[in-house]
Amino acid sequence: MLKPLKEKVTLGHLRSARQSGQKTAMLTCYDYTTARLMQAAGVPALLVGDSAANVILGHPTTLPVSLSFMIEITAAVRRGAPLAFLVADMPFGSYQASVAQGTRNICRMVKQSQCDCVKIEVTAHHLPLIRSLAAAGVPVMAHLGLRPQSVGVLGGYKYQGRTADEAASIVALALQMEEAGAVALLIEAVPPEVANAVIQRTSLPVIGCGAGPGCHGCVIVTHDGLGLTPSRPKFVPNLAELGDPLREAFGKYVHAVSTGAYPSAEHQYTMAPAEQDRLKAWIEKTDKNSPC
């Protein structure tokens, strides 16, 4: 049974979920129409991910997407789902150059999109930026584990925390992010043991993306869950298979147009008989006066 959102979901709800054990469902969203449907379905948290570069723009990585584009689509999602907790992804190149650049661009994102939180793929290098944003009152979700914006350095989309040393590094970074002022963590593509270690040692809400059942919430790329991408990652549930029905619907339209079945009388606007007669008389008159 659908339970549409009735009140604004806030960071307080995420923090309460950590204490109560109530899991928070989060989905990626990139447009107004889908956001409206997700709010009606009761999805409490939405992420406007830089995965838009892949599933919306068709790029092989998340790197090409621009800040202006991310702001535009985040604002659209906000209009569609004003009650959801909205997280905006900061794209590659928008915060890496300096603390000043990152603070300026992130404040621009918050002001122009009206998001509730921003997500940043972090390393220890970003600790000064996190502190600056915390001082400015900007809620930051720190993204750990697999960081798609660093795919070139990581050598591909490989899950992280494979060894005890790698796991310890992720936990240490999570603790540093909490100390610097991050309000939540997102951990992507790690074994459950790694996520659990982070959960045990920090006090922040932890959203998992392929990080096991211990996290306080889960997020997936919606297109993956709906069967709209070429392949579904291992950790993504099969919510629906919409690819085939959509292809069939598009093909049905092509057939209807190409055979003349569409548009039929039911799809046409009408003109009053008297106006039809006037139009016919005007056409006949202009045809007679035509120079040819």
> What per-residue confidence (pLDDT) applies to 2?
82
pLDDT at residue 124 is higher than 80: yes
> What per-residue confidence (pLDDT) applies to 156?
65
pTM: 0.93
Token readout for 260 is: 């003349």
Instruction: Tell me, yes or no, whether 267 lies in a domain.
Output: no
Instruction: Tell me, yes or no, whether 116 lies in a domain.
Output: yes
9-67 pLDDT, tens digit each = 999 999 998 889 899 999 999 999 999 999 999 999 999 999 999 999 999 999 999 99
Can you list the alpha helix ranges (DSSP code H) found in 181-261? Answer: 192-201, 222-225, 243-259
Supply the DSSP symbol for 267: G
Q: How many independent structural domains does the chain possess? A: 1
Instruction: Tell me, yes or no, whether 256 lies in a domain.
Output: no
Question: Mean per-residue pLDDT for 84-103?
Answer: 97
Instruction: Tell me, yes or no, whether 275 lies in a domain.
Output: no
> What per-residue confidence (pLDDT) applies to 153?
66
The yes-or-no answer on residue 72 being catalytic is no
Percentage of the chain exceeding pLDDT 90: 91
Q: Which range of residues forms the domain containing residue 156?
A: 11-220
Q: Which amino acid is at 127?
A: L
Long-range pairs, 60-68, Cβ under 8 A, ≥24: 61/148, 61/151, 62/91, 62/92, 62/148, 62/149, 62/151, 63/92, 63/93, 63/149, 63/151, 65/91, 65/92, 66/91, 67/91, 67/93, 67/94, 67/105, 67/108, 67/109
Instruction: Tell me, yes or no, whether 255 lies in a domain.
Output: no
- CATH number of domain containing 92: 3.20.20.60
Confirm if 78 and 113 have CB atoms less than 8 A apart: yes
Instruction: Tell me, yes or no, whether 99 lies in a domain.
Output: yes
Task: Please state, in angstroms and rounded to a whole number, the distance separating the CA atoms of residues 123 and 63.
Answer: 17
CA-angle at 182, arms to 179 and 188, nearest 5°:
110
Catalytic residue among 121, 178, 179, 188: 188
Instruction: Tell me, yes or no, whether 239 lies in a domain.
Output: no
> What per-residue confidence (pLDDT) applies to 150?
80
Task: Please state, in angstroms and rounded to a whole number, the distance separating the CA atoms of residues 226 and 53.
Answer: 18
Task: Please state, in angstroms and rounded to a whole number, the distance separating the CA atoms of residues 200 and 73.
Answer: 35
